[in-house]
Amino acid sequence: MGNVTQYCCIYRCGMSGVKTPVPKRDDSRMTNLTTKEWAAALDIQYHNSDHATWKALYEKRLQKLVFVGSEAYLSGLQVIRLDSEQIPNLDRLSERLRQVCGWSITPVSGFLPSKVFFECLSCKAFPCTTVIRKPSEFAYTPAPDVFHDVFGHIPMYWHCQFRDFVHQLGQIACNLRSEKELELLAKVYWYTVEFGLVNEPRGIRVYGSGLISSEAETEMALSPDCSRRSFDLREIAERDIAHDKLQRVLYVIDSFEQLASISSELKRHSNGSTWIM
């Protein structure tokens, strides 16, 4: 099997029935995933208890999100029409997403290396974890699961400024020359797509998937214990990411229009001789 970027695009163009030209890209540094690993992600069998977990999570989070979720997310949830009763079929959901915005879903069995992950985004293919958390992890799980990826991420892709931003991050990653540069891009993704807050007429609202999908993260994000700061690219470049702890410092964008200026600044630096560090 070829590199993972080729696989992501094959999934879009073949398995999901999307007739989009496959980007030509060959990067010997990329991590190859075996056929067995991809098959495991695609062939997962869910039990009734898994669907019950999805349903309980969906109902509990929606009760809170109608008050603290961004209008962009709540509108996207109506547009995408996720199944609230059971874990959605990812192939059918991918086709629905393609119809709405031209993106697709690529099932994966766990974490991808950053370079591989961003390569998928550059193909407009969102990598989606297929495992679901245990009932004991309802409020918080440090590892992404299908609820985080589908319920937390997918509804935001109906929003053109958001999905354009994610696509731009993927394309910028393809031109980066070092792991240090890629690390900054991952931090920007973390503090926007994963844990972003936005100012809306109703006040500060959550739009990042890590907040959308987690009761504990949302409570922390909107509590006095969290330092909510205006988005600052240079400050973010100096921060370390805590993957296994509740986030106590988060960044607020003034509107989704600001995402375009963030990606433009990143692109200027990635095309030049210096980087933001």
How many domains would you assign to the chain?
1
β-pairing, 227-230 vs 197-200, is unpaired
Neighbours of 204 (CB within 10 A): 15
Domain contains 277: no
Residue 79 lies in a domain: yes
d(CA 131, CA 144) in angstroms, rounded, equals 9
Tell me which residue has tokens 């297929």: 130
* Largest Cα span, the chain: 54
Residues 6+ apart with CB under 8 A from 51: 85, 86, 87
Predicted local confidence at residue 111, as pLDDT = 75
Task: Judge whether 77 lies within some domain.
Answer: yes
Buried b (16+ CB within 10 A) or exposed e, 168-185: bbbbbbbebeeeebbebb
- 51-to-38, 54, 147 alpha-carbon distances in Å: 22, 5, 11
Q: The domain spanning residue 59 has which CATH number?
A: 1.10.800.10
Its domain, for residue 159, covers: 4-271
259 near 192, Cβ under 8 Å? yes
Q: What is the pLDDT of residue 43?
A: 59
Amino acid at 238: E
Give the rounded distance of the alpha carbon of 222 from its chain centre: 21
How many other CB atoms are found less than 10 A from the CB of residue 37?
15
pLDDT at 27: 32
Q: Is residue 167 part of a domain?
A: yes
Residue numbers in the chain where pLDDT is lower than 50: 1-36, 38-39, 273, 277
Spatial separation of the C-alpha atoms in residues 116 and 102, rounded to whole Å: 20
Q: Is residue 175 part of a domain?
A: yes
Enter the tokens of residue 265.
């600044």
Q: What is the helix, strand, coil percentage profile of the chain, to 5?
A: 55, 10, 35
Which structure tokens are listed for 266? 């990143």
Helix axes 114-122, 160-174, angle to 10 degrees: 120
E strand or H helix at 166: helix 160-174
Residue 69 maps to a domain? yes
- Tens of pLDDT along 117-145? 999 999 999 999 999 998 888 888 878 89
Predicted pLDDT of residue 153: 98
